[in-house]
Amino acid sequence: MRAMFRRALLAAPLLLPLPALAQPQAAALSERDRRDIAAIEAYLNRLTTLRARFLQIAHNGASAQGWAYISRPGRMRFDYDPPEPLLLVADGNQFLLYDRELKAPTALPTSATPLGLLLRPEIRLSGDATISRVQRDGGFLRITLFRTNDPREGSLTLVFQPEPLELRQWAVLDGQGRETRVTLTQIETGLALNARMFQFNHPQFFEPGGAGGR
């Protein structure tokens, strides 16, 4: 039971925002902010594939790590290192969280998750996304945004190394003020990733070696 609760703490904030305590507000953007936002949009839209080690830290200090993969548009995979039995995969319009120990899947639309923003064919940090803060500190550029139509569900902060521009971290803040951070290291981009890594409807997907991974 304790292991199940720990897994819920690690995974749920990345997928299921909760009713918020306060409504965020749109930031008053400077010309510098607008230039940086345009550069981030261009960088993210150029990003086709990414592989990296990730370290995830939940609001209560629980941590896990593993390998993260992105294949834009539409695909993302988080392979957690043992003993965590979690697998998180997005393929097209659906996110699947799978507990290998319990053999239990949970699915929801990609559009309903904070991370769905990174998987769109065209990433725009405006319109249905609203920027609430732009920060420059510690040598990093941070952009915080929320879904325009659902501001109370929480926010997503993207953290970039500015020169050269590179995504290094994101943080999901749920509606109750609980934050989960994911930090990327050993980042590689432009790789050829096996499509089977993301096709969870394939009959061999959950078998050892069946995903065609690293």
Q: What is the pTM of this model?
A: 0.83
**Range with the poorest average pLDDT among 39-53, 142-156, 173-187, 200-214:** 200-214
pLDDT score of 6? 45
Tell me, yes or no, whether 76 lies in a domain.
Answer: yes
CATH number at residue 134: 2.50.20.10
3-state secondary structure 67-135: EEEEECCCEEEEEECCCCCEEEEEECCEEEEEECCCCEEEEEEHHHCHHHHHHCCCCCCCCCEEEEEEE
Is pLDDT larger for residue 152 or for residue 46?
46
Within a domain: 208:
no
pLDDT at residue 206 in the model: 62
Cβ-contact 98, 45 below 8 angstroms: no
In a domain, 206, yes or no: no
CA distance linking residue 73 with residue 30, whole number of Å = 30
Asked if the structure places residue 211 within a domain, the reply is: no
| Residue at token pair 């934050």 | 179
Res 153 pLDDT > 80: no
Check whether 18 has a pLDDT greater than 50: no
Q: Which pLDDT tens digit goes with each residue over 73-89?
A: 999 999 999 888 888 89
Q: Report the number of distinct structural domains present in the chain.
A: 1
The larger pLDDT score, comparing residue 48 to residue 199, is at: 48
**What integer is the mean pLDDT of 54-75?**
91
Let me know if residue 91 belongs to a domain: yes
**Which string of b and e fits 76-101 if b means at least 16 CB within 10 Å?**
bbbbbeeebebbbbbbeeebbbbbee
Domain membership flag for residue 32: yes
Boundaries of domain holding 19 = 2-197
Does some domain include residue 213? no
